[in-house]
Structure 1
């Protein structure tokens, strides 16, 4: 269990996490699927309803705090993570979920993102990655692929895009999952595993924007292409893909390589998200078309001390030291001049 919990008297359902607010996303937007699965996931969590907190920044994704019946903070652009960190430090028993877009988290919020990863704050971050700035009408974001035409790059985007998984794992995130917005089962499973993970959990959702980047993930998530272009990772299972599961992965030199299973002895690599070393998790997160399928599912899941528990333990340790206690007593007595 992720944090201390309070017994619930009656089971909760998705309906308990719906609000009376009209959902203001474009028809067909992938955000609806994220909202539905988040509501379902909250109903399964062991926290009492009043101990759930939703925090968001600015953008289409960040409207979700109005649609989740939890305590919520709609913060400012790029600052959802420090706000959430403050809440978690103040009350480590809160179940804190953060919602952000690829622009909100990777651009103005990029600095906060990498430090949340390295600190291993016990938060859950869901990134709605549609590879565009949607709310501000179609500007290039840090994840927009090179060559894609946008309002700020009408001849085609000329910047190299970020790989969210590569940044998260490289910065120290102990949990990283990548899920398509059209696979509710995988998304719900990732949300529940993130909830039960003690540390910073990042879930990147390959989310479709029907207005500005419609079909941006279609080669990966499309019904006719996903078997060939997507490899679903399962803990303890060989990494296989292809229409007939005829391909796998092997280590060749210093990198991963694709192999045909019938031509090789020993089979494909077996996925282990709990491996402490990041080398293969980074390699899996970096796989991209056309040379490799895109990896989805739980890519990394390792246990390390969480930031807020370490901070609170440091406070306890400091209080137990005699020098801290003597200063504390002087302050309480009003004789602070004796400290100088």
Structure 2
């Protein structure tokens, strides 16, 4: 019988979810209550003072007990970069892998081990530069994994070069007179690659980050979560516009089924304009004209329009769960193919070796 997890405060805490449709359906659960400290490894956490990675780590450690999974059935895979130290600091299985290739290794785990909750931890440089190809294909295939991309708009581990998300004009050691590269719109990229789950949060917003992480953990398919964070050494204050006075007029937090209204007093809203979306003053429109957020729509165009909201030169940052659609997963399909192949009569190896499907090398 399909079970539904209740919203209690022990190891089974999370929003009610039908496990038959959840990424957690095939993963062994624990009957022992868990706490955040149960997911703390013996390794000394070593990031620069003030790094956003600390609060992300604390949030993940607090979120994992709410899943109620056995620790040996959780695995974090990372690439190269400051964020990629993450697996060392969690009392789960972990793989510190190859630059940009974490989604590839995670794909192998997801296909062969449906009893694992597979997570990828990566940075904007690791995932969007050398790893860009691996990222988009993991999303396109809808592999059952969660990809947490820490975006600080800089290469931190290699001492401050500009990254694929650095803004135009960014002065760094590799761009002493300013970057001329246009940065990726990361959310647009993920939606364009057909990601079935796309979310975003600020590292300092633990409530919002926890909300997105919990939903990503439950999503069956490729879940892309961008976490905006500061690098206090090489790119301090990169997201100050979203943290300090006036941030309410630039930050749009969306929740499924709720009207998209924002601002210090709810004075701004999102409305439809032609085939896209636009910003308007709430007092200037009818309540029925305000867009009600639909994260579950199969059409990615709406989510794409959300990711590109701008008005009069001001770009807005959308946080929350932007897209959460249902589509068959790559790993489920691969296992089904293998199962069907096993039911058929195996090919005669000698016939294959001596058949006419050969060629001559000159």
**Match for residue 56 of structure 1?**
78
1:63, 1:288 → 2: CA distance?
Answer: 35
TM-score normalised by structure 2 residue count: 0.88
Please say if residues 261 and 267 of structure 1, whose CA atoms lie closer than 8 Å, have aligned partners that are also in contact: no
**Match for residue 266 of structure 2?**
245
**Match for residue 309 of structure 1?**
332
Deviations 1:205-237 (A, max 9, x none): 0011001111111102x1423211101101111
Pick from 178, 196, 199: which aligns with 1:174?
A: 196
The reply on whether 1:96 has 2:96 as its aligned counterpart is no
The reply on whether 1:229 has 2:255 as its aligned counterpart is no
Q: Name which of structure 1's ranges 250-259 and 150-159 shifts more when overlaid on structure 2.
A: 250-259
Deviation at 1:200, TM superposition (A): 0.1
Deviation at 1:19, TM superposition (A): 0.9
Q: Summarize the Cα distance change of 1:310–1:285 in structure 2 as closer, same or farther, 3 Å threshold.
A: same
Q: Write the mapping of 1:277-292 to structure 2, written as runs, cut at 5 A.
A: 277-288=299-310, 290-292=313-315
Deviation at 1:294, TM superposition (A): 1.1
Deviation at 1:292, TM superposition (A): 4.3
Pick from 302, 306, 323: which aligns with 1:300?
A: 323
Q: Which runs of 5+ in 2 are unaligned?
A: 1-21, 356-362
2:200, 2:90 → 1: CA distance?
Answer: 22
1:212, 1:10 → 2: CA distance?
Answer: 42
Deviation at 1:47, TM superposition (A): 2.2
Please say if residues 5 and 46 of structure 1, whose CA atoms lie closer than 8 Å, have aligned partners that are also in contact: no
**Match for residue 16 of structure 2?**
none
The reply on whether 1:143 has 2:165 as its aligned counterpart is yes
2:210, 2:279 → 1: CA distance?
Answer: 29
1:337, 1:306 → 2: CA distance?
Answer: 32
**Match for residue 76 of structure 1?**
98
Q: Write the mapping of 1:93-132 to structure 2, written as runs, cut at 5 A.
A: 93-132=115-154
Deviation at 1:126, TM superposition (A): 0.4
The reply on whether 1:30 has 2:52 as its aligned counterpart is yes
1:294, 1:338 → 2: CA distance?
Answer: 58
Deviation at 1:87, TM superposition (A): 1.1
Q: Which runs of 5+ in 1 are unaligned?
A: none
Deviations 1:267-295 (A, max 9, x none): 41010100111111011112258534311
Match of 2:198, SS state, is strand
Root-mean-square deviation over aligned CA pairs = 1.6
TM-score normalised by structure 1 residue count: 0.94
